[in-house]
Structures are given as C-alpha cells and as structure tokens.
Amino acid sequence: MTDARRFPLGLTIATAISLAILLTLGTWQLQRLAWKRDLIARIEALQTAPARPLGPVLAAAARGEDVDFVRVAVTCPGLASAPYLELYGLREGQAGARLISACPAEGGGYGSILVDRGFVPDTVSARPPVDAADARPLEVTGVLRAPDAKSTFSPPNRPDRWFTRDIPAMAAALGAADPAPVFLMAETSSNPEWKGLTPAPVPANISNRHLEYAVTWYGLAAALLGVYAAMLLKRRKT
C-alpha cells in the first residue's frame, strides 16, 4: 500500500479547514461572553443609578469617553408635540415603530440629541400630535445608547420608515443641528396622556448563553478530531 493511500491529503485539508472554522466560532463566542458579562454588569448597576445632567455627560462623550448606558435627565422644550421619524422596531415579538424626535442639548459641545420616545405597535394607527409652536418644557429621564452598526441585511431607510439609527441622516431630516453621537432612550413618557406610546425601559433580563455556545463549538471541534483520528487509525490497519 502506498504512502499516498495511507495519508488522505484531501480529507486532512477538509478537516483542517473545518477545525479552523469551529475553533474560530468557539473563540468568538468566548469574546462575546466577556462582552455580555460586562454589559449585564453595567445594566445591573444602572438599575439604581441616579440620572445625571445631560451636558456634562455629552462633554465626556466629546472627549472620547464611553457613555453607553449612562442614565441622564434633560429638559426638552415641546417634545410632547415635536416632529418625529418612525424607526422600525420589535417589542415583545410585536412589530411597530419607535418615534424619534430631536431635543436641544445645551453644553457638551453638541447642539441637539435624538430622543427615542418609545414604541407604538403596528396595530395602533394613531400618533401623538405635532405642533411646532408648542414649546412647553418636558423633563425626560432616559439612558444613552450608541447606535448599532448598519448590517448588510438592513433595508434602506425611507422617509416614512427608518430601519437603522443613522444619527446624521435622522438629525438632518428633523432639522437638528450638531447632533450628539448617541441616542437618548426615554424611560419616562413624552406623552403621558397618550397610552399608545410605550417608553423603552432598561432591559432587566438579558440572555447570556455564549459559554454554552462556545462549549458546543469546541465540542464539535473535538468530535471532528476524534473522527479524523479514528479514520486514520482504520486506514493504517487496513
């Protein structure tokens, strides 16, 4: 029997490629595990964190500091009847729209901040009133969130429905100057009298199964090595 028959080159290459993919997936899940643990710790700390004035927090963001998941408070004139954009969203398995409006931001080096006022399910066709002349002050408490990166599967944004949190484009559509690089996810209602709009509270429970996924990928890698070794042993005996 020749050496070429004893050593399956094609099988070895295929096994090496598959092994590299499985190990990469397992390592990626471990990296996600560390990120998720840090995220959960920050959210747990946020549950009892007092709201900070928006201006100093935005100043920290301008210096390059991470302000994701920082609770803030700001007074927004006319927010209850401000113009809004509709951002596609899901809440508890139900499709709908998140209403995005602009709020002036004093201090911090920015002129405005986009406020996610909350969620309206698609089963509700009504919307809050819009009155550009309304300047009644409204204090909003919420959490700052950095926008997610646009994926290749995201539909293109339309004037009547947005699918990605594109701050510059949204701010331009709302006429908001110098927008901050984060969203304010409102925890308090901008329209208490209008029950169709649900503010976005900080998530209390976040699933963390990345360790389980990592063990699965590494387990598959070990099983692949076992099968490959068994086939080599079988060929050597024949």
Q: Which domain holds residue 110?
A: 51-186
Distance from C-alpha of 82 to C-alpha of 77, rounded to nearest angstrom: 9
Q: Tell me whether strands 52-53 and 71-77 are parallel, antiparallel or unpaired.
A: parallel
Q: Each residue of 174-201: pLDDT tens digit?
A: 999 999 999 999 999 999 888 889 897 6
Distance from C-alpha of 100 to C-alpha of 84, rounded to nearest angstrom: 5
Are residues 144 and 68 in contact, defined by beta-carbon separation less than 8 angstroms? yes
> Does 151 share its domain with 226?
no
User: Is 194 a member of any domain?
Assistant: no
Q: For each of the chain's 238 residues, which pLDDT tens digit applies?
A: 455 456 678 888 889 999 999 999 999 998 888 878 877 777 777 667 789 999 999 999 999 888 888 999 999 999 999 999 999 998 888 899 999 999 998 877 899 999 999 999 999 999 998 998 888 999 999 999 988 877 777 889 998 999 999 999 999 999 999 999 999 999 999 998 888 898 976 665 667 788 888 899 999 999 999 988 888 887 777 6
Are residues 73 and 139 in contact, defined by beta-carbon separation less than 8 angstroms? yes
> Does 181 share its domain with 214?
no
> Does 83 share its domain with 147?
yes
Are residues 165 and 87 in contact, defined by beta-carbon separation less than 8 angstroms? yes
User: Is 155 a member of any domain?
Assistant: yes
> Does 117 share its domain with 229?
no
Report the SS3 class of residue 183: strand
> What's the domain count of the chain?
2
> Does 104 share its domain with 65?
yes
User: Is 153 a member of any domain?
Assistant: yes
Report the SS3 class of residue 123: coil
- Vertex 96 angle, CA 90 and 99, to 5°: 105
> Does 86 share its domain with 176?
yes
What is the chain's percent helix, strand, coil content, to nearest 5?
A: 40, 25, 40
Tell me the pTM.
Answer: 0.71
